[in-house]
């Protein structure tokens, strides 16, 4: 499978359903952005622990990470979680 070199951000939120810090959102972008700009947006969030998904404001993110491959990392994390729970 070809690797997608996508620059962007991974935002971590506390899940409003299960309370774990495993609700993630991806924000692909071609440039570095200020934290205030990232936190000002609304993101679609999915919890890798309980499966909840919905919208969350960036200001409530508990962590913001810059990444070169956000899709690959989140997909890998979800895959590892599913492999350990099954």
Q: For 47-67, what is each residue's pLDDT tens digit?
A: 999 999 999 999 999 999 988
- pTM for this one? 0.71
β-pair partners for 11: 25, 64
Max CA distance (Å), the chain = 39
Kindly report the backbone phi and psi dihedral angles of residue 81, in degrees, each rounded to the nearest multiple of 5, phi listed first.
-65, -45
Q: For 2-56, what is each residue's pLDDT tens digit?
A: 445 568 999 999 999 999 999 999 999 988 899 999 999 999 999 999 999 999 9
Dihedral angle over CA of 63, 69, 72, 74, nearest 10: 10
Kindly report the backbone phi and psi dihedral angles of residue 7, in degrees, each rounded to the nearest multiple of 5, phi listed first.
-90, 140
């Amino acid at each position: 499978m070809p690797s997608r070199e996508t620059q962007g951000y991974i935002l971590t939120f506390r899940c409003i359903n299960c309370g774990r810090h495993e609700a993630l959102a991806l924000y692909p972008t071609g440039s570095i952005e200020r934290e205030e700009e990232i936190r000002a947006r609304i993101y679609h969030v999915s919890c890798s622990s309980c499966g909840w998904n919905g919208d969350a404001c960036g200001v409530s993110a508990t962590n913001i990470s810059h990444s070169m491959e956000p899709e690959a990392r989140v997909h890998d994390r979800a895959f590892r979680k599913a492999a350990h729970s099954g």
